[in-house]
Amino acid sequence: MANTPNTMKRNEERPGGSSFGGQQHPQGQGQGAGIADKAKDMASTMTDKAREAASSVSDRASEMASNVGHKAESATAAVGSGMKTIAESIREHAPSGGMLHSATAGVADTLESGGRYLEETRLNELGADLTNLVRRNPLPALFLGIGFGFLLACATRR
DSSP 8-class letter at 89: H
pTM: 0.50
Contacts 24+ apart (CB under 8 A), 61-70: 69/123
**28-86 pLDDT per residue, tens:** 556 667 888 888 888 888 888 888 888 888 888 888 888 888 888 888 889 999 999 99
pLDDT at 8 over 70: no
- pLDDT reported for residue 157: 87
Mean pLDDT of 136-151: 93
In this structure, are residues 51 and 60 in contact, taking their beta carbons and an 8 Å threshold?
no
Answer with the residue of higher pLDDT: 84 or 11: 84
Give the residue among 36, 37, 34, 5 at the shortest CA–CA distance from 21.
Answer: 5
**Residues 119, 115: Cα–Cα separation, whole Å:** 6
DSSP 8-class letter at 96: S
pLDDT at 19 over 60: no
- pLDDT reported for residue 135: 94
- pLDDT reported for residue 18: 46
> What sign does the CA torsion over 104, 109, 110, 112 have?
positive
- Angle 120-121-127 from CA coordinates, rounded to 5°: 165
- pLDDT reported for residue 30: 60
In this structure, are residues 86 and 111 in contact, taking their beta carbons and an 8 Å threshold?
yes
pLDDT at 88 over 90: yes
- pLDDT reported for residue 27: 53
pLDDT at 150 over 90: yes
DSSP 3-state helix, strand, coil percentages of the chain (rounded to 5)? 85, 0, 15
Rounded to the nearest integer, the mean pLDDT of the chain is 81
- pLDDT reported for residue 136: 95
